[in-house]
Amino acid sequence: MVVPLAAASLFVLATGGWALSVARRNANIVDQLWGVSQIVVVVVALAAGEVRTARSWLCAALILLWGTRLSFHMAWRDRHRDEDFRHREPREAKRNFMWRSLPEIFWFQLIGGGLVVGLPMFAVVSDPQPQLGWLDAIGTVLWVTGFVIESVADVQLARFRGDSDNRGRVLDSGLWR
C-alpha cells in the first residue's frame, strides 16, 4: 500500500509543480522539487508503512536532511536565474511544450525517479528489519561523507559562477577537478 500512496502523492506534487512552471513559464522548479519528492516519499512511507524500526527512522532522517538541503540549494541557485537551457530550448523549438513537459519532465522525473530512488525507504517500512549494526554505521559514514562532498562542491560551484570573469569557463579546481 505504501508505493501506490507514494505514487499518488508524487503525482500531486509533480502536477502542481508543472502548473506552477506553466504560470511562471519556467520549468526550473522541477529541479527544486527533486529533493521535495524524496521528502514526500519518506513522509508517506513512515505514515503508511507497516514497520517502523531504528533503521527506518535512520533512513528517514538521512533522506530528509538530504532532500531539504538539495531543495533549498536549488531554490537559492535558481532565484535570479533564467530558465535552464534544458527546458528553454525545447520550449522554443517545440509547439505544445507546456503539455509535453508534464509527462516528459515532471511526471517522469518526480514520479518515476522519485519511486526508484525511494525503493530503500519502501523496503525498510515493509519488512521487519534486524537491529542496527556495523553495516548501518558504515552506510551512515558513507552518507555523511557524500553529503559533505556534495555540499562543498555546491558552494565551490556557486562561488565560481558568481565571478563574472568565469563566464563560459568550466570549473576544474577543488572538488570539481
At which residue does the C-alpha cell 502548473 appear?
Answer: 19
Could you say which DSSP state residue 111 is in?
I
For residue 90, what pLDDT is reported? 75
Residue in 9, 11, 82, 75 with CA at minimum distance from that of residue 42: 9
d(CA 37, CA 117): 10
Q: What's residue 106's pLDDT? A: 93
Alpha helices in 49-133 (DSSP H): 54-78, 85-93, 97-101, 114-117, 119-124
- Rounded to whole angstroms, the Cα distance separating 17 from 139 reads 32
Contacts of 83 (CB under 8 A, 6+ apart): 25, 26, 27, 28, 91
The predicted pLDDT at position 98 comes to 83
* pTM score of the predicted model: 0.87
Low-confidence ranges of the chain (pLDDT < 70): none
